[in-house]
């Protein structure tokens, strides 16, 4: 049974990333550093053939996907609303400090989407793509927290933060589930045969 291969790429940097502000579902655009990161990602991603490119509808992911697609001579097939970043509610826009700490509750922030909810939503979106594009290669551009939680649930591991515009390569098998080959650009297992 063929594998479905996924490149899971976090968008490039935004000003809020640089300022260490919690973005969540607030639609903050890429900055020039982020655009450069997206263009740089093409070198690694061009080592594979991609059948489909999808992204979150938030502008930072959508623009990253467009820049990568242009560099690969492809186009973005669609925006997937379920790939939007985890919603952090009133914590969005805040930096570490007393104001953010006042909103903390176990597992997140008051009024925010829980880690469990975000992981369920993100993994369901990835599994729907795996079913739709069974046996193909899918490039997904989305968001760090959503990808970390979804991928962590898929491979039953706690994962570190995901870096901007680096390769995370995972494979989905209808029976055996998910395998993670690259995380933050580094190999975590032997290459999976095609």
Annotated catalytic sites, by residue?
11, 85
Token pair of 171, please? 């494979």
Tell me how far apart the alpha carbons of residues 22 and 70 are, in angstroms, rounded to a whole number: 29
Tell me how far apart the alpha carbons of residues 101 and 92 are, in angstroms, rounded to a whole number: 12
Other CB atoms within 10 Å distance of the CB of residue 105: 10
User: Exposure pattern of 125-136 as b/e (b: 16+ CB <10 Å)?
Assistant: bbbebbeebeeb
């Amino acid at each position: 049974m063929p594998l479905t291969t996924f490149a899971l790429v976090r968008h490039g940097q935004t000003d809020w990333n640089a300022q260490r502000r919690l973005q969540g579902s607030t639609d903050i655009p890429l900055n020039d550093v982020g655009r450069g990161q997206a263009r740089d990602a093409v070198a690694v991603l061009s080592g594979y053939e991609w059948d489909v490119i999808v992204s979150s509808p938030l502008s930072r992911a959508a623009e990253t996907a467009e820049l990568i697609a242009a560099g690969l001579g492809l186009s973005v097939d669609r925006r997937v609303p379920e790939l939007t970043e985890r919603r952090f509610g009133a914590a969005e826009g805040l930096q570490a400090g007393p104001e953010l700490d006042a909103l903390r509750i176990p597992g997140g922030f008051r009024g925010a989407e829980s880690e469990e909810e975000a992981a369920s939503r993100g993994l369901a979106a990835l599994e729907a793509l795996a079913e739709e594009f069974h046996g193909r290669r899918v490039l997904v551009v989305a968001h760090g927290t959503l990808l970390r939680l979804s991928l962590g649930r898929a491979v039953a591991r706690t994962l570190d933060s995901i870096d901007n515009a680096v390769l995370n390569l995972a494979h989905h098998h209808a029976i055996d589930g998910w395998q993670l080959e690259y995380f933050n650009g580094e190999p975590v297992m032997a290459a999976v045969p095609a």
